[in-house]
Amino acid sequence: MSPVTPRPAPGALRPDLARIASWIQPGSRVLDLGCGDGALLAHLRDHRQVRGAGVELDDNCVIACVRRGVEVIQQNLEDGLALFDDKQFDTVVLSQTLQSMHRTQHILREMARVARYGVVSFPNFGYWPHGWSILRGRMPVTGQMPYQWYNTPNIHLCTLRDFEQLAGELRLDILERATFNEGREIKLLPGWRSTLAVYRFASP
């Protein structure tokens, strides 16, 4: 009998978002880039007294944020963060969006500019079934990357080591890392066994 993957209770955050929330100091200022339906910001507001704002492009997600009472700005992240001042926030979050950005280095530099701390999460292309799929001559399709090669929004896939090298080049000081597979946290051989990585870094 196969193990049952734990699912969040109704209204609960996904495990990766719960970990992100645990890294954010109560009462701090948070900017959530690509904030989706505003679930993380609403949780931080209600449970950690955070003053937050989100940036989101999708119309339906913006409406969902408004319904939650979350402050949201409708804007394409590719246009940058010129609306925000240097160190205007304590923490800036980019959850499962980095891999779809055209200018990866630019958005990371902008995150470091507008906040003291940054949090990013992305699919781990080093997950071992991905390599097996490529050896069989096919691009991988998994729960974390469910798209076919011709319709995927993921344009810059990377492994844990790839991101850590880039962070070093940008002088981002990695403070914490958590890795997950289908909602379970992975501690043993995370580069091979995790499907999602979450990093917290300090700005230069």
Q: Please give the DSSP secondary-structure letter assigned to residue 26.
A: T
Prediction pTM value: 0.89
The answer, yes or no, to whether residue 126 has pLDDT greater than 90, is no
Candidate CATH numbers 3.20.20.70, 3.30.420.40, 3.40.50.150, 3.60.15.10; the one for domain 15-127+156-202: 3.40.50.150
Residue 179 has pLDDT above 80, yes or no: yes
CA distance 69 to 61: 12
**Is the distance from CB of 197 to CB of 190 less than 8 angstroms?**
yes
Cα 52 to Cα 117: distance, rounded to the nearest angstrom? 14
61-120 pLDDT, tens digit per residue, is: 999 999 999 999 999 998 889 999 999 999 999 999 999 999 999 999 999 999 999 999
* Domain ranges, ordered by start, for the chain: 15-127+156-202
